[in-house]
Structure 1
C-alpha cells in the first residue's frame, strides 16, 4: 500500500505589515506490491524497466518526502523538496529540488518569472502534484519517468508570459529559456536500460547501479555532474487557453562534449524535442498527449557528434476522469531506441509499449486509496550483453493508502 501525504501547512507567518505564506508537506509512501517479471529492477542493477522486480512482492517503501515552499519577500519564493526511497541510495534522505523564484511586481500585461537553483524543466504535463508527483496515477509516463531519472535543471530559468485578457484574447502565451550545468551524464541510463515507467525521482546527490555491469567494484551512476565545462540550454513556448487547456513545446540540448571521457561519467551529448497538450473536457475528463524525439551520444568522433549515437522516441496518450471523490486514469506508452552509429561496438535497441490503469478514491480530506496496474512488454537488445533474452513482459500491481494531515 501507498501511505502518502502526511501534510502540515503553516499558512501564515506575519512580519510587520506583510503576511507571508509558507507551506510544509510531509509524505510517507508505503505500498503493497505484486510483481510478475523475470527481471531484476534497475534499482538493483537489473534490466527491468519497472521500479520493482520479480522478487519484490510484498510491502515496500515508495518514499518519504518533505516539501517546503513559501515567500521570503513579496516577490521572492523558495521551494525545497527532499526524499528518501529506501532502496540503498547513497544518502538516507536527499534533495530532489531546491530553488528560489523571483516574480517582480507587474507594470504591464507581461509577467516575468525567474528561477535559480535545482528544479525540473517545464516538460511534464502529468507531474503537477506536490513534490513533482503525478496528479493522475502513481507512476508517470515513460517520458516523464526519464525526466525524473536523469534530468534536473541546475542553473537559471526565466519565462515571460503575455496575458491575453488585457488584449481581449482568451489565451496566454509564454516563452521560457534556461542555461544550466551539471547534467553531462544525462542519457546513460536510457542507453543501457531503455525507457522505464515508475515514480522514483533521482536525488541531486543520488546514484543508481549500472544495469549491464556485474562487477561490484565499478561505481554506480552519478547523474548530476559537470565534466566538460559547457553550459546546456533549453527553450520553449506554452499557450494556455481559457485558463484550462495547455499546449507546450520545448527544445533541450545539454551541449555535451563527447570527447570528454576522463571523469567517472563520460560526457553525453543529449538533445530532444518535446511536444505536449493537456485538454480539459466536459464531465471533468482530462486528456494528455506528449511526444518526444531526439538522440544521445557518447565517445570522441571527428565530427563531434559522438562515437556511438542512439536515437530515442516515445509518446503517450492519457485519459483521466474525476468523478466526485473518484479518479479513473488509463494511459498507453510507446517507447523506442535505436543505435544509428557504432552498433557493432554496442547495440542499444528497445521496442516496447505499456498500458497503465489507475484508480484513486478520496474518502475525505485525510484519506485516499489508490490502485495501479502496469503491463510493459517488448524487446531490449542490451539484455543479450549479460546472457538474458531480449524479450520480456513485466506486470506490476500496486495498492496505495494515503493519509494526510
Structure 2
C-alpha cells in the first residue's frame, strides 16, 4: 500500500504538462462540550472534543486532482487536525481512476484503485470528505471516517439515462479490498459517535480505558489499527444506485470484510464485519433537501480459545432536512443508533441505545467562506460507562461556532 501512495505522489509532483487542480478546506472552530472524555482519548464521550471549551483547527484538508488524460486521473487527499485532543496530519485518500467515455449503447465503465471510502455516504461530498450541511458527521459517517476505509479496487458500470431519452440513470459498483480486518472493534468498544475526525492512514486509535482490557481482553492491543491487513483475504462491497435527474437518488449496498476471526497478530484481532446500507437524497417541495440513511449489520471477534469474545449486532438511522436561501442554509438531523451484545462475555458489555439531534446554521460571507454554528445533543445508554464511574444514561451537549473556507 505504501507503494501505491508513493506512486501517486510521484505522479502528482512530476505532472508538468497535464492538468492539475488543488482544492482545500480550512475549518477553525470553538466548541463547548457538556459531556465526558472524548472517545479519541480513550473515553466514552460521543464527541470529538473533551468536556469544556476548546479552540481548534478542526480540519485543514487539501486535495490534489491530476488529469492525466481524458480517461485517467489521480486524487490524493490529506487532512490535518490541531485540537489538543488528537493532533495529526496525513493521507486519508489516494486513488487512481479510469473513467471511460460512454459507449454508443449508453453505458460508461469506471475503475478506481487505491485508498478509498466505500461508496456509502450521501452527506460528506465536499472537499476532503467534509460535509456541506453540518459540522459534525452523522453517526454512520463518523464510523466510516474512523475505521471503515480500505485499500481496494472498485469497478462500476452506469446506464446513462440521457442516451435513452430518460431522466433515470442506473449504476452498479463492485469493490474488492484489503486493509480492513479490525473494522468493528471501535464501534463495539466505544459505540457510535458524533464526530468530524477522519482517521489518518498511518494512525492507530486508543481502545477505551475499561477494566476488561486489563482482564478478559488483556490480549487486545491498547491501540486499534483500523487499516491493518491480518489474514490476506479480500473483502467485498457491492452497491447499486438509481438517479432521477433533477429529483434525487437512491443508494443501496452490502459490505463484508470477510475477515478470518481466528487470526490475531501483535494484539490486533481480525473482526468479521458485515452490514447492509440504504440511503436516499431527494429534493422536496419548498426547496428543501432531504437525506436519509439506514445501516444494519453485525461484527464478531473470536478469542484464542475459540469462543466469541465479541458478537454484536448494530444499526443506525438518520434523516436530515436542509434548506438554502440567499446566503443562508439551515439543516436539522435526527438519528437513532444501537449496539446489541449477543455474546456471553459478561465483563465486556457492549449494549448501547441512543438518539441524537443536530441543528445547524450556515451563513455565506462570500464565495467559499462561511460562518457556521451548530448544536449537537446526544441521549444514550451504555452499560460499560458504569465500570468507570459514569452513569449508564448520559445526555451530552455540544455548541460549535466555526469559520470555514473552501478553496
- How far residue 345 of structure 1 moved from its aligned partner, in angstroms, is 4.5
The answer for the alignment partner of 1:261 in structure 2 is 264
The answer for the alignment partner of 1:237 in structure 2 is 240
Structure 2, unaligned stretches of length 5 or more?
1-14
- How far residue 69 of structure 1 moved from its aligned partner, in angstroms, is 1.2
Q: Quick check: 2:41–2:86 contact (8 Å CA) kept in 1?
A: no
Corresponding residue to 2:32 among 34, 38, 42: 34
Q: Tell me the alpha carbon deviations over residues 111-154 of structure 1, each in whole angstroms, 9 at most, x when there is no partner.
A: 11110001111101111101111121111110111111111131
Corresponding residue to 1:298 among 293, 296, 301: 301
Q: What is the TM-score normalised by the length of structure 2?
A: 0.89
The answer for the alignment partner of 1:381 in structure 2 is 383
Q: Does 1:103 align with 2:69?
A: no
Inter-partner Cα distance in structure 1 for 2:339 and 2:109:
37
Q: Does 1:196 align with 2:198?
A: no
Inter-partner Cα distance in structure 2 for 1:341 and 1:328:
42
Q: Quick check: 1:367–1:403 contact (8 Å CA) kept in 2?
A: yes
The answer for the alignment partner of 1:372 in structure 2 is 374
Inter-partner Cα distance in structure 2 for 1:397 and 1:239:
37
Q: Which runs of 4+ in 1 moved over 4 A?
A: 87-91, 213-218, 304-307
Inter-partner Cα distance in structure 2 for 1:244 and 1:257:
42
Inter-partner Cα distance in structure 2 for 1:90 and 1:162:
43
**Pair 228,263 (structure 1): closer, same or farther in 2 beyond 3 Å:** farther
**Is the partner of 1:316 in helix, strand or coil?**
strand
Q: Quick check: 1:337–1:350 contact (8 Å CA) kept in 2?
A: yes
- How far residue 260 of structure 1 moved from its aligned partner, in angstroms, is 0.8
Q: Tell me the alpha carbon deviations over residues 82-131 of structure 1, each in whole angstroms, 9 at most, x when there is no partner.
A: 11112579984210000011012332311111100011111011111011
Q: Quick check: 2:330–2:360 contact (8 Å CA) kept in 1?
A: yes
- How far residue 23 of structure 1 moved from its aligned partner, in angstroms, is 1.7
Matches for 1:342-361 after TM superposition, within 5 Å: 342-361=344-363
**Pair 230,209 (structure 1): closer, same or farther in 2 beyond 3 Å:** same
Report which of the two has the higher share of helix.
2
The answer for the alignment partner of 2:8 in structure 1 is none
The answer for the alignment partner of 1:169 in structure 2 is 166
CA RMSD of aligned residues (A): 2.3
Corresponding residue to 1:64 among 60, 65, 70: 60
Inter-partner Cα distance in structure 2 for 1:368 and 1:227:
43
**Pair 300,207 (structure 1): closer, same or farther in 2 beyond 3 Å:** closer
**Pair 89,110 (structure 1): closer, same or farther in 2 beyond 3 Å:** farther
The answer for the alignment partner of 1:312 in structure 2 is 314
The answer for the alignment partner of 2:7 in structure 1 is none
Structure 1, unaligned stretches of length 5 or more?
1-12
Q: Quick check: 1:260–1:300 contact (8 Å CA) kept in 2?
A: no
Figure out how many residues of one structure are paired with residues of the other and give that number: 386
Matches for 1:181-192 after TM superposition, within 5 Å: 181-192=178-189
The answer for the alignment partner of 1:74 in structure 2 is 70
Q: What is the TM-score normalised by the length of structure 1?
A: 0.90
**Pair 318,179 (structure 1): closer, same or farther in 2 beyond 3 Å:** same
